Structure 1
Amino acid sequence: MEIILKQDVKNLGEKDDIVNVKPGYGRNFLLPKGMAVLATESNKKVLAENIRQAQFKQDKVKKDAEKIAEGLKDVSLKVGAKAGENGKIFGAVNALQIAEAIKKLGYEVDRRKITFDSDVKFLGNYIANVNLHKDVKVQVPFEVAAE
């Protein structure tokens, strides 16, 4: 039985994939739960049109992400934090602080897309990994300085 997935299904495929499944699995589980539709000719044409439109939107998002990445490539940020005598800061520098520092430069980046290789708990230089798109990633160096 050939079906089109409407959402990601573990161990089967991702959204908009056309997959072959056993008839009972498709008829009794996937179709009633709204996870898939039958892969008829008309549904395949609708899927192709939806994919074409989504691709156009994805290209625009990717171009915007590349533009931001180009602007962040040669930037070095400075983040202030209260620190003790031995250089250990109170708390930790988090993605929200990095996102705010990037926003001051004129770029809008979602804080959930910023990760660190290690915890930022001491004064010094670190690197923030900014995932702007699944194909566009940029590393932004930043310095944690005492306030």
Structure 2
Amino acid sequence: MKVILLKKFEEIDVKPGYGRNFLLPKRNVIIATNSVRKKIIELKKKIIKKKRKKIKKFFFYLKKNKKIEITFSLKLVKNGKLLGSITKKNIKTIFFLKKIKIKKKNFYLEKIKINKIGNFHGYFNLPYNIKYKFLFKIFYL
């Protein structure tokens, strides 16, 4: 029995009893027919077009603002460390204020918590395994 997985859009071959009694009632699969295959191909094309549009919008913004600079004003302790630390949550709020919609799981920092003054790098994970490097600076004001 040929079925198509709904989450991955992959066509697999399973035993008829397993497909009828387990996969179909849980709505994890669809029985593979020619019309369903055509619809899935169309769905894949639409998903790829949406991803390309998102990437184009994001790269347009990055070309417009080649350097993304984020500044934080925090208090210092005597030894030069920051009082507190800067995390992904803080940076996400700055992106939200600049009207950039990015999920926390799509970008990461060199260090998990930053508690020093200086220049640091972060990375965006874009679809199709594209990584974009950005720089942010921490100043004492």
**TM-score category of the 2 structures, normalised to the smaller one:** 0.7 to 0.9
What is the distance in 2 between the residues matched to 1:132 and 1:49? Answer: 23
Structure 2: runs of 5 or more not aligned: none
> Once the 2 structures are TM-superposed, how far is the Cα of residue 107 of structure 1 from its aligned partner?
5.0
Query: 1:25 aligned to 2:45?
Result: no
CA deviations 1:59-83 (Å, max 9, x no partner) are 2112112223334543433222222
1:123 aligned onto 2:117: yes
Match of 2:41 among 48, 59, 71: 48
8 Å CA contact 2:51, 2:127 repeated in 1:
no
Q: TM-score, normalised by structure 2?
A: 0.80
Deviation readout 1:92-124 (Å, 9 max, x if unpaired): 1122432444456x5513251331121212222
CA contact (8 A) 1:89 1:122 kept: yes
1:109 and 2:108 aligned? no
List gaps (5 residues or longer) in structure 1. Answer: 8-14
Secondary structure at the residue paired with 1:91?
strand
Identity %: 27
Q: Is the 2:95–2:102 Cα contact (8 Å) retained in structure 1? A: no
Q: 1:107 to 1:101 in 2, by over 3 A?
A: same
The alignment's C-alpha RMSD in Å is 2.3
Size of the aligned set, in residue pairs, is 139
1:69 aligns with 2:69: no
TM-score (norm 1): 0.77
Asked if the contact 1:69/1:138 (under 8 Å) is kept, the reply is no
CA 29–90 in structure 1, closer or farther in 2 if over 3 Å, else same? farther
